[in-house]
């Protein structure tokens, strides 16, 4: 029996991305699936319904989700959407589960098998499925474009008969995927670029892109990275020394872009109000972590704030969505690559191998249970109060190993970017 994949239009008005492209639709139908795309789902990403039908999809409506064996989304399904899914359906999306325990419990109660793409492990096999990297790349690029637009001056040095225009000074804070792309983009535009990160390995990466690295390089800094390439939490003493160096540097910059995020925790404050006050009028700060509380004091989600001293703090939400036409194409490929690993090529059916390392890492809920060890304990407690015990089964808490969310989380090399 042919299985059905449904691709809905995202309900959030601020989300222009879509979870399938004409290319991935063609490849999904080639695997033997029926693909239904909700009418208008791709319009904000410059993909028309005709593009989808040419690739082999059927154009449908919201109610078609009820017959789908697999639902591909950008954002976590809402309660209203969950009511329209059949029990046992696989739902693959960016689930944003941290701090959203009730939403995770609701997915378990709905009986769906939910996969959180942002938990994809950083291994060679899964590189093509890494949504954080694909979207952070575009966020880093767009951050520089947004900064240049607000700066309203030329970024490169220009020597003319009428005089010389000095190059803009750009400082990137956090050298993960978004930070590296921001460095590369600012360099292409001709700016003088510096960057900082707590990982020693970042110094070589920054230099390879033609930028200058800024950090307090003492003994603690040299030991600030784990064998797996993660950053360790630094001591208060080191943080104070780094903050002093950073404050002095920021005062001389024209543009500052911050990208630091710690999974499951509020974004660390990197730029204080005093640092903002020290900057020249017309300077620009772009905070890519604003959705998690922000790296810049005074940043407001969804707003561009102009301070009393004439500094602009840019807090755009969903920055990858600001280049949706490109972001959707990359995201769709991420989803296809992951789903393909779960397809039995003989039966042309989705056959989830729950022992597969990719499945183990990304599966949040399954068969009415919360199965991800980092969320089982907190969600179970909330679900027990809100749901009827007979209707919501929960996974047995893992006592032998403390879940990752309960330990002090380390900053991933690329997940440290917005």
By annotation, the residues acting in catalysis are 122, 127, 130, 133, 230
The first and second tokens of residue 30, run together, are 């080639």
Question: CB atoms < 10 A from the CB of 353, how many?
Answer: 12
Cβ contacts of 54 within 8 Å, gap of 6 or more: 22
Parallel, antiparallel, or unpaired for β 34-38 and 58-60?
Answer: parallel
Radius of gyration from C-alpha coordinates of the chain: 23
The first and second tokens of residue 154, run together, are 């030329």
The string over 21-59, giving b where at least 16 C-beta atoms fall within 10 Å of a residue's C-beta and e elsewhere, is bbebbebbbebebbbbbbeebbebbebebebbeebbbeb
The first and second tokens of residue 54, run together, are 């040419």
Sign of CA dihedral 221, 222, 223, 224: positive
Cβ contacts of 228 within 8 Å, gap of 6 or more: none
């Amino acid at each position: 029996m042919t299985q059905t994949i449904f691709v809905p239009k995202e309900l959030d008005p601020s989300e222009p991305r879509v979870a399938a492209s004409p290319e991935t639709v063609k490849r999904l139908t080639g695997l033997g699936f029926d693909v239904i795309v909700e009418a208008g789902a791709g319009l904000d990403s410059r993909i028309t319904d005709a593009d989808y039908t040419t690739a082999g999809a059927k154009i449908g409506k919201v109610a078609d989700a009820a017959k789908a064996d697999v639902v591909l989304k950008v954002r976590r399904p809402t309660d209203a959407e969950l009511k329209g899914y059949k029990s046992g359906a696989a739902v693959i999306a960016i689930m944003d589960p941290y701090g959203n325990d009730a939403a995770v419990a609701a997915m378990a109660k709905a009986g769906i098998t939910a996969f959180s793409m942002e938990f994809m492990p950083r291994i060679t096999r899964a590189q093509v499925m890494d949504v954080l990297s694909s979207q952070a790349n575009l966020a880093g690029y767009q951050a520089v474009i947004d900064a240049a637009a607000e700066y309203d001056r030329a970024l490169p040095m220009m020597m003319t008969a009428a005089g010389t225009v000095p190059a803009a000074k750009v400082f990137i804070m956090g050298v993960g995927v978004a930070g590296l792309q921001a460095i590369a983009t600012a360099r292409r535009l001709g700016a003088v670029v510096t960057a900082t990160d707590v990982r020693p390995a970042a110094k070589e990466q920054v230099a390879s892109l033609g930028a200058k690295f800024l950090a307090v390089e003492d003994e603690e800094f040299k030991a600030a990275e784990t064998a797996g390439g993660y950053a360790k939490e630094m001591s208060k003493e080191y943080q104070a020394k780094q903050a002093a160096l950073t404050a002095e540097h920021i005062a001389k910059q024209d543009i500052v872009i911050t990208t630091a995020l710690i999974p499951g925790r509020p974004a660390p404050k990197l730029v204080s109000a005093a640092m903002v006050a020290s900057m020249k009028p017309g300077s620009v700060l772009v905070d890519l972590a604003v959705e998690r509380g922000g790296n810049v004091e005074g940043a407001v989600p969804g707003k561009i704030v102009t301070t009393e001293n004439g500094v602009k703090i840019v807090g755009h939400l969903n920055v990858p969505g600001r280049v949706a036409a490109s972001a959707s194409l990359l995201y769709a490929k991420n989803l296809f690559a992951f789903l393909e690993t779960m397809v039995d090529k003989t039966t042309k059916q989705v056959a989830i191998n729950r022992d597969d390392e990719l499945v183990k890492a990304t599966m949040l809920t399954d068969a009415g249970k919360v199965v991800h060890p980092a969320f089982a304990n907190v969600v179970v407690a909330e679900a027990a109060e809100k749901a009827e015990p007979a209707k919501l089964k929960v996974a047995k808490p893992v006592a032998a190993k403390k879940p990752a969310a309960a330990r002090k989380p380390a900053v991933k090399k690329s997940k440290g970017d917005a």
